[in-house]
Amino acid sequence: MLVRQPIYQQLNEALRSLLGSGEFRTGAQFLTERQVSQRFEVSRATANKALSNLVSEGVLEFKKGIGTFVRGGVLDYDLRSLVSFTGKASGAGKKPTTRVLNFDRRTGATIARSVAAALKVRDEDGVYVVERLRLADGSPVILERRHIVEAHCPGLKREELAGSLYALWTERYRLEIAGAEQTIRAAALPRDDAKHLGVAAGAAALEVRSLGVLREARPLWWERTLYRGDAYAFRNRLGPIQTARPASGEFLGPDADEEENRTL
């Protein structure tokens, strides 16, 4: 029987590990709700919720009247939830690895003014600047550049950056991540970035800028991340507007990156 953490969370992790074990290949039919319930000794309702969550994230695919199958091909990015790359890749049956390209400690005075303002750091406050290349089955798929507020995770070391930052923040530093606000746009990869990602200069990519916050809206990180256009699919589910603050868009001119690019 599953113990310790909430059953639903444990079951999600257990199913992700199962998918990453190689027992179920891409395109293979996955366990049914009843099989999950029996194998992990949980209720049918909990099994259904866990399977539905993996379908929502694009890890599994439900075919009406047939069953649930393991998805393959591009990695899926669900815009509605924060799931680490490690979790996404493992859940998709791929082996996630990370190559740390750069790790530096700076101050608020030496990073882009717009980033310092977003992070609400003073000139003298410490900020970690991290550049990582994320790989799935040895193939580079994400180039990540992130600024992290030092005050929330003092003593951060380069060797700790090879795994999931979300796990590091929540397990070592006991931080409670409240969410993130993201801006997504199309991008053509410049030569150096394209080289890191193993594609030709000018290849299509998706650029995601995120501001991650803790409880009480305290900024933890700011990032500008490039996703290979042929390796990732972004997905969202729309429903009736239930908030006074609808989704918004903005036009970004050709010089919008100038300040950030000078200091990243």
Given a contact cutoff of 8 angstroms between Cβ atoms, the answer to whether 264 and 193 are in contact is: no
User: What is the spatial distance between Cα 123 and Cα 106, in angstroms, rounded to a whole number?
Assistant: 10
pLDDT, position 144: 96
Q: Which two tokens stand for residue 220?
A: 């933890």
Q: Which two tokens stand for residue 160?
A: 């700790």
Given a contact cutoff of 8 angstroms between Cβ atoms, the answer to whether 134 and 98 are in contact is: yes
CA dihedral 157, 214, 205, 241 (to 10 degrees): 170
Torsion over CA: 19, 137, 166, 258 (sign): negative
Given a contact cutoff of 8 angstroms between Cβ atoms, the answer to whether 150 and 128 are in contact is: yes
Whether residue 20 is predicted with pLDDT greater than 80 in this model: the reply is no
User: What is the spatial distance between Cα 138 and Cα 98, in angstroms, rounded to a whole number?
Assistant: 9
pTM of the model: 0.63
| Yes or no: domain 76-237+247-263 corresponds to CATH 3.40.640.10 | no
Query: How much is the average pLDDT of 183-209?
Result: 92
Quick: pLDDT tens for 99-158.
999 999 999 999 999 999 999 999 999 999 999 999 988 889 899 999 999 999 999 999
* Residue in the structure block whose two tokens are 């099994």: 47
Q: Closest Cα partner for 36 from 15, 19, 57?
A: 15
Whether residue 254 is predicted with pLDDT greater than 50 in this model: the reply is no
pLDDT, position 64: 84
Whether residue 60 is predicted with pLDDT greater than 90 in this model: the reply is no
Which of residues 13 and 216 earns the better pLDDT score?
A: 216
Say which DSSP state 168 is in. I
CA dihedral 79, 82, 22, 139 (to 10 degrees): 70
User: What is the spatial distance between Cα 264 and Cα 258, in angstroms, rounded to a whole number?
Assistant: 10
Q: Where are the domains of the chain?
A: 7-72, 76-237+247-263
User: What is the spatial distance between Cα 179 and Cα 125, in angstroms, rounded to a whole number?
Assistant: 23
User: What is the spatial distance between Cα 54 and Cα 170, in angstroms, rounded to a whole number?
Assistant: 22
User: What is the spatial distance between Cα 47 and Cα 12, in angstroms, rounded to a whole number?
Assistant: 9
C-alpha to C-alpha distances, 36 to 41, 66, 100, nearest whole angstrom? 8, 17, 37
pLDDT, position 211: 95
Torsion over CA: 180, 183, 186, 190 (sign): negative
In sequence order, the 6+-apart residues with CB closer than 8 A to the CB of 146 are: 129, 130, 131, 132, 165, 221, 222, 223, 225
Q: Which CATH number fits domain 7-72: 1.10.10.10, 3.30.450.90, 2.60.120.460, 3.10.129.10?
A: 1.10.10.10
